[in-house]
Amino acid sequence: MIEWVGRKTIAGATYLAALATLFSQAVLDLVLPTQQGRRETLRVLVRQILFTGVDALPVTTVIALLLGIIIVTQAGTQLPRLGAGGLVGSIIVVTVIRELGPLITAFIVVGRSGTAIATELGTMSVTGEVVALRLMGISISRFVIMPRMVGMVLSMLCLTLYFDVVAVLGGYLIADAQLTIPFYAFVESVTKALSTTDVLMTAVKGLCFGSAVAAVCCHHGLAVRSSFTEVPQQTTRAMINSFILCLLIDVVVTVPLYL
Amino acid sequence: MSEAALVLEQVRTPMFGSPHHLEVDLRIAAGEFVALVGPSRSGKSLIIELAAGLVSPEAGRVVLLGHEWSGGSESEYNPVRIRVGTVLEQPGLLNNMTLFNNVLLPLRYHRGALSDRSREHAVMAQLERLGLTPMRDRFPAELSHGEVRRGAIARACMLDPEVLLLDDPVAGVDAEMQLVLKAYVEERRADHSLTVVVALRAWSPFIEGADRLVALHDGRVKADGPRDAVAEVVPEALRRYVE
């Protein structure tokens, strides 16, 4: 048993070290730019932002609206029974802006783009494209990993903030239509509950989740070696590990701040 | 003796999928055209991978263009790799790019200062020479094996390499295009000093153009020299690869 725990611990630490190496190399490539391949790298980055950020807007809008409606419906019907009808704004801030906004955005990004990155890189590995790039003297870190990582981090940050705004809007729609909470009361309730820390924390979480998801998905994509059957296996691992890592980061960020 | 472009000195390394080890001691001079011939699992592709710095030998050393491949980082290898054109058994054209953009990629990445027009001109010249002009806007999945391989060779030549490492360049290429490929490589050799190392699994026009044949079997060099000399001394089992 102790041996098993020790083995798993070492494996976990090695895995995290590999992610940290991948991430730090990408950061170095970002902050130490060379003229070489700048336009090509920028092209990959723009494509990644379009796919991860812009293309994800419709699905993010729908999920955020529905979530806002669900939460305000529950809060608006239950809280008045406890004499806390004025806390609807707090509930939106606590559940959506602090927690569910960044987390659900991360899950959307993992499901849409994280798996796509893992699959794409896995296929590139099997078909010899990664080796071909190396043989052309093209840095895998600079040309493949860094633009995907930066694109995902920026997209995740923007999508998280967008998700929060749309979810609050969804909450207002139901508050106005069904619960007859007037607009000014709703806005007042939300703004009163919202602090600068909340906004900063949602942004920090967006950045951290984006970095983690990008590193995990690139790592698993490049871990594919020789067979196409490895691609779905590594993609599944990338998805599960991204979810777990996002939740871990959430705990690490949230607990010290709000406990 | 002229300066060596590629040296494999006392190299010993395991061969994947074979009980044998590759054990070679080869020196290829700058400007030489060497064909490695022999059956599958004889070590030809492994020599190409060793020369390209993709595999580290268990023992011995590999030196390409004066640079020893040993434990360096990718960023240290890249300046050497830019001087070498390599096409492996898997040509590795990027599936999300058209043939034109694939061949253009090395220029876009390493020769950013060139104008778009001169880069396009350079790419179209290569594609035309290899009979690929009508395929320029097709993706690799829409090309035949031979077209993909020719595209990969065109891409490998875009930076005017000093060394060309080709693993089975004629696989999937029809008889007429094999002659075109051979002529293409010979033209490039006439243009500037180009060292060519090709691995061949069957007889091909490249054997006629080679300065030197190296016949391999089970990881060992069985004969090494000009074609006629090799044909005389090569074991019976390898004769069909050189005649």
Whole-number pLDDT of residue A36: 80
- Which ranges in A127-229 belong to alpha helices (H)? 129-135, 140, 146-177, 183-193, 196-222
Is there a contact between A210 and A150 (Cβ–Cβ < 8 Å)? no
Q: Check residue B234 and give its pLDDT.
A: 78
DSSP 3-state of A39: helix
Residue A2: per-residue pLDDT:
87
Q: How many CB atoms lie within 10 A of CB A171?
A: 31
Per-residue model confidence (pLDDT) at position B2: 61
CB B153 within 8 A of CB B131: no
The answer to whether the beta carbons of residues A241 and A115 sit under 8 Å apart is no
Crossing angle between the packed helical segments A101-109 and A230-258, to the nearest 10 degrees = 170
What are the tens digits of pLDDT across the range A74-89?
Answer: 888 888 788 777 777 7
What's the whole-number mean pLDDT along residues B157-186? 93
Adjacency order of strands within the sheet including B4-14: B67-68, B59-64, B4-14, B21-29, B220-225, B212-217, B33-37, B195-200, B163-167, B84-87
pLDDT, mean of residues B160-179: 92
Chain A residues lying within 8 Å of B82, measured CB to CB: 136-137
Cβ contact B78–A137 (<8 Å): yes
Position A21 pLDDT exceeds 90: yes
Q: What is the mean pLDDT of residues B233-241?
A: 77
Q: Give B229→chain A minimum CA distance, Å.
A: 34
Domain locations along chain B: 4-83+161-242, 95-160
Residue B214: predicted pLDDT: 94
- Do the bridges between strand B21-29 and strand B4-14 make them parallel or antiparallel, or are there none, so unpaired? antiparallel
Cβ neighbours for A116, distance < 8 A, ≥ 6 positions apart: A51
Mean pLDDT of B232-241: 77
Which residue range(s) make up the domain with A102? 2-258
Q: Which residues, 6 or more positions from B64, have their beta carbon under 8 angstroms from its beta carbon? A: B5, B6, B7, B51, B52, B53, B80, B84, B163
A38·B112 Cβ contact <8 A: yes
Region B131-148 average pLDDT: 95
Mean pLDDT across chain B, nearest whole number? 91
Q: What is the pLDDT of residues A87-98, one digit of tens each?
A: 777 888 888 888
Q: Do B94 and A38 touch (CB under 8 A)?
A: no
Which of helix, strand or coil describes residue B195?
Answer: strand
Quick one: average pLDDT of B156-184? 93
Tell me: the pLDDT tens digits for A198-246? 889 999 999 999 999 999 999 999 999 889 999 999 999 999 999 999 9
Contact B227, B213 (CB under 8 A): yes
Question: What digits encode the pLDDT tens for the residues B18-46?
Answer: 888 999 999 999 999 999 999 888 999 99
> Which chain A residue lies closest to B77 (C-alpha atoms)?
A137
- Global ipTM: 0.92
Burial class (CB in 10 A: 0-12, 13-18, 19+), A67: buried
Superfamily name with CATH number, domain B4-83+161-242 = P-loop containing nucleotide triphosphate hydrolases (3.40.50.300)
Q: Are B49 and B165 in contact (CB under 8 A)?
A: no
Any chain B CB within 8 A of the CB of A132?
Answer: yes
Binary contact (A134, B105; C-beta < 8 A): no
Distance CA B161, CA B132 (A): 21
Mean pLDDT of chain A: 91
Report CA-CA distances (Å) from A42 to A3, A46, A48, A79, A130: 47, 6, 10, 50, 19
Return the residue of B nearest to A140 by Cα: B74
The per-residue pLDDT for B94 is: 95
Interior CA angle at B169 toward A138 and B8, to 5°? Answer: 70
- A36/B91 touch (CB, cutoff 8 Å), yes or no: no
Strand pairing category for B33-37 and B21-29: unpaired
Find the range with the poorest average confidence among A71-85, B2-16, B134-148, B149-163.
Answer: A71-85
Residue B9 pLDDT > 90: yes
Q: Which pLDDT value is given to residue B76? A: 84
- Give the one of B79, B84, B92 whose C-beta lies nearest to A131's C-beta: B92
| pLDDT for B203 beyond 60 | yes
Output the six-digit token pair for B239: 């004769």
Asked if pLDDT for residue A135 goes beyond 90, the answer is yes
| Site of tokens 């190399």 | A25
Q: Is the pLDDT of residue B1 over 70?
A: no
Count each helix (H run) and each strand (E run) in chain A, helices first. Answer: 12, 0
CA angle B59, B62, B66 (to 5 degrees): 145
**A192 touches B: beta carbon within 8 Å:** no
Contact A39 B110 (CB under 8 A): no
Q: What crossing angle do the helices spanning A115-126 and A196-222 adopt, rounded to 10°?
A: 20
Predicted confidence (pLDDT) at residue A187 exceeds the cutoff of 90: no
Any CB–CB contact under 8 A between A137 and chain B?
yes
Chain A CB contacts of B156 below 8 Å: 136
Share of chain B above pLDDT 90, in %: 69
* Nearest residue, CB atoms, A139 vs list B75, B92, B108: B75
A127 touches chain B (CB under 8 A): yes
Q: Scanning every residue of chain B, which has its alpha carbon at the shortest distance from the alpha carbon of A125?
A: B92
Question: Which residues are within 8 A (CB) of B80 and not within 5 positions of it... i.e. 6 or more apart?
Answer: A137, B53, B64, B65, B67
Count of the separate structural domains present in chain A = 1
- Give chain B positions within 8 Å (CB) of A40: 105, 108-109
- State which H helix or E strand residue B14 sits in: strand B4-14
Residue environment code for B184-219, b if the CB has 16+ CB neighbours within 10 A, otherwise e:
bbeebbeeeebbbbbbbbeebebbebbbbbbbbbbb
Place of tokens 């876009």: B108
Environment class of residue B114 by beta-carbon count within 10 Å: exposed (0-12), middle (13-18) or buried (19+)? middle
